[in-house]
Amino acid sequence: MDDEVIVEINSDADLVTARAEARALASRLGFSRTDATLIATALSEIARNIVVHVGRGRITMRHVREERRYGLVAVAEDEGPGIRHLGAALAEGNASRGGLGLGLPGARRLMDEFEVVCGSVRGTTVTMKKWRIPDELELLRQKRRGGGGARPNPAKADPRR
């Protein structure tokens, strides 16, 4: 599965699109509803930061795979002035511009991996990953198909998800 979803972030309306696209991709990758909601919420928080602090940017989401796990990686990029005090911005409860201070630390809490890189002159890139380890049934199906490694099974129908 080589899904790549790009959402341009220019206004509050784009937050809804980013959230919906994140949830849809997570569902296609076999994440539970709970994890899909966590991913969508983290993306929404980062998209909100783009709208409030920069005005425009882009979020790219795609499938990522390693030998025994797979997941979703989201990369949010903007060309703003960067984050002046990154350590403070990552601290819990550090509100700025009237916000709640939950954006970066909240997204970091919801995802498995989280990295922020500020450009030397302009721009900020936030990379987030959420991982999923396939269950025994998925691994058995992959083995029967002759596939190796962790791969999502979008045809998997589990009513609990």
Residue where the block lists tokens 């795979």: 65
Q: Which is more confidently placed, 89 or 25?
A: 25
Burial readout 107-133 (b: 16 or more C-beta within 10 A, e: otherwise): bbebbeebebebeeeebbebbbbbbbe
Alpha helices in the chain (DSSP H): 12-28, 33-53, 86-90, 103-110, 136-145
How far is CA 45 from each of CA 115, 122, 143, 148, rounded to the nearest angstrom? 14, 21, 38, 35
How far is CA 135 from each of CA 57, 68, 116, rounded to the nearest angstrom? 36, 10, 31
Range with lowest mean pLDDT among 3-7, 45-49, 76-80, 121-125: 121-125
pLDDT band at 153 (very low <50, low <70, confident <90, very high): low
Q: Which two tokens stand for residue 33?
A: 């509803």
The pLDDT tens digits for 109-145 are: 999 999 999 977 789 999 999 999 887 887 787 788 8
pLDDT at 102 (0 to 100):
67
Q: Which two tokens stand for residue 131?
A: 């991982």
CATH 3.40.50.300 fits 4-145, yes or no: no
pLDDT at 100 (0 to 100):
46
Average pLDDT (60-68) is: 91
Q: What is the DSSP letter of 62?
A: E
CA 34, CA 6: separation in Å to the nearest integer? Answer: 23
Sign of torsion over alpha carbons 126, 134, 20, 88: negative
pLDDT at 159 over 80: no
Average pLDDT (93-103) is: 57
The residue ranges of every structural domain in the chain are 4-145
Q: Which is more confidently placed, 83 or 117?
A: 117
